[in-house]
Amino acid sequence: MATAFVNGRVLTHQGFRDDLAVVVEGDRIADLMPHGDAQIGATKTLDLRGAYLLPGFVDCQVNGGGGALFNNAPNIEALRTIGKAHRKFGTTAWLPTLISDDADRMRQAIAAVREAIAQGVPGVLGIHLEGPYLAPARKGTHDESKFRTPDADEIAMATSLDNGRTLITLAPERVPADSIRALVARGAIVAAGHTAGTYEQIRAGLDAGVTGFTHLYNAMSPLQGREPGAVGAALEDRDSWCGIIADGVHAHPASLRVALAAKLPGKVFLVTDAMPPVGADDPSYELYGETITVRDGVVRNAAGVLAGSALDMATAVRNGVRLLGLPLDEAARMASTYPAEFLGLGDRYGRIAAGYRADLVAMDSAMNVVATWIGGSTE
């Protein structure tokens, strides 16, 4: 039976509308109708009580949540736990992210994601392999001993997910252009990250098929007057997308506002880079055998290096409004429409429109999540 979501402020491509009902049938949005449409009277209704109704959030970088870390437990149970934790914060579609690890662990992670998608684990779209093809000089908390250059067999393994999206973050200066082209030819979306590359090396990567930048500003060569670096290449390039961690720690809000001013509209999107404490009571977790504890909302290892984040997507959206000065509709699109387009899923995810997945999030006037639907279901 169809359900009409009524009495909400609905985010459409035209902006917020308070005169529309969103009709959901099964896992799809069937139609958007004026409140007075006669068909609504014959339909089950759900009163949103004035809440904002937004497209469900799409997170391209989720390392963990609910106390689970994908690297430590590359299995379907961990994926269920992580997804459930982030769902409370409006994330309805996401990429489990495996940071640099051995080939066997990568195979396990890909197999777990394949099975999760086959079983319909809510929200799992594919996998993000953040490494291990990275630059030691910009390793962050990644284990340098795992770094390597992919050969033909590893390229085939890394792109072997056959029922979902594969995003691979690499350092373009560490991977031959022909290998980048091979990854893209096998269906991978390739982003530059954890890179010490020069502007010229990053441009070569873009020419070979790189289409995104992972957590812009972090773990990449900076923009300077005589050396634009990775940041300069990212901000100059018209076609590429940039993920940003809007927690006020990974990058100064002014730097993020510069990125928004430099890039074309729709090319900057929000990610969390979330770790296990998101949605969990325990602020500590194990990474590469080291215990890491969140302090004052910041995740750092013993050496003081940022180790992912304790950010959830609802907070990222609020920070978009409060720290970056964005209107809520644009902050919401940065959490839904734009990452969906980056992943090549913009025709199915990230919008409230007829034919789209009924992935929805309701937020109150304080921008707190009050309800989340994945495929039309709250379960």
Structural domain total, the chain = 2
Per-residue pLDDT of the chain (379 residues; tens, 9 = 90+): 899 999 999 999 999 999 999 999 999 999 999 988 878 877 899 999 999 999 999 999 999 999 999 999 999 999 999 999 999 999 999 999 999 999 999 999 999 999 999 999 999 999 999 999 999 999 999 999 999 999 999 999 999 999 999 999 999 999 999 999 999 999 999 999 999 999 999 999 999 999 999 999 999 999 999 999 999 999 999 999 999 999 999 999 999 999 999 999 999 999 999 999 999 999 999 999 999 999 889 998 888 888 999 999 999 999 999 999 999 999 999 999 999 999 999 999 999 999 999 999 999 999 999 999 999 999 7
Q: Do 24 and 62 fall within a single domain?
A: no
CA distances 245 to 92, 111, 195, 215, 251, Å, are: 18, 28, 17, 6, 7
CA–CA dist 287, 303 (Å, integer): 13
Q: Do 164 and 33 fall within a single domain?
A: no
Q: Coil, strand or helix: which one is 69? A: strand
Q: Do 154 and 244 fall within a single domain?
A: yes
Q: Coil, strand or helix: which one is 202? A: helix
115 within domain boundaries: yes
10 within domain boundaries: yes
Is 226 labelled a binding residue?
Answer: yes
Q: Do 214 and 288 fall within a single domain?
A: yes
Q: Do 9 and 128 fall within a single domain?
A: no
DSSP H/E element including 47: strand 44-47
CA–CA dist 366, 304 (Å, integer): 33
Do residues 246 and 323 make contact, with C-beta atoms less than 8 angstroms apart?
yes
Q: Can you give the pLDDT at residue 41?
A: 77
350 within domain boundaries: no
347 within domain boundaries: no
Is 252 labelled a binding residue?
Answer: no
Q: Do 34 and 140 fall within a single domain?
A: no
226-284 per-position pLDDT tens digit: 999 999 999 999 999 999 999 999 999 999 999 999 999 999 999 999 999 999 999 99
The pTM score is 0.97
268: number of CA atoms within 13 Å, CB side? 26
Is 291 labelled a binding residue?
Answer: no
Is 188 labelled a binding residue?
Answer: no
What does the DSSP 8-state code read for residue 74?
A: -
Phi and psi torsions of 23, nearest 5°:
-100, 125
Q: What is the CATH number of the domain that holds 49?
A: 2.30.40.10
Q: Do 246 and 103 fall within a single domain?
A: yes
Is 219 labelled a binding residue?
Answer: yes
11 within domain boundaries: yes
Q: Do 270 and 256 fall within a single domain?
A: yes
Q: Do 235 and 298 fall within a single domain?
A: yes
Q: Can you give the pLDDT at residue 37?
A: 83
379 within domain boundaries: no
Q: Can you give the pLDDT at residue 55?
A: 98
Q: What is the CATH number of the domain that holds 175?
A: 3.20.20.140
Could you tell me whether strands 284-287 and 290-295 are parallel, antiparallel, or unpaired per DSSP bridges?
antiparallel
CA distances 208 to 40, 73, 158, 220, Å, are: 51, 33, 18, 19
Q: Do 207 and 276 fall within a single domain?
A: yes
Is 250 labelled a binding residue?
Answer: yes
**Residue 4 structure tokens:** 């009409």
Catalytic residue status for 273 = yes
DSSP secondary structure string for all residues of 250-271:
SS-HHHHHHHHHHSPTT-EEE-
Q: Do 252 and 360 fall within a single domain?
A: no
Is the bond into 132 cis (omega within 30 degrees of 0)?
yes
Q: Can you give the pLDDT at residue 114?
A: 98
- Residue 162 sits in which domain range? 56-342
348 within domain boundaries: no
Q: Which of 273, 312, 329, 359 is catalytic?
A: 273
CA–CA dist 368, 56 (Å, integer): 14
Is 272 labelled a binding residue?
Answer: no
Q: Can you give the pLDDT at residue 228?
A: 98
Q: Do 232 and 369 fall within a single domain?
A: no
Is 223 labelled a binding residue?
Answer: no
CA–CA dist 23, 6 (Å, integer): 9
Is 194 labelled a binding residue?
Answer: yes
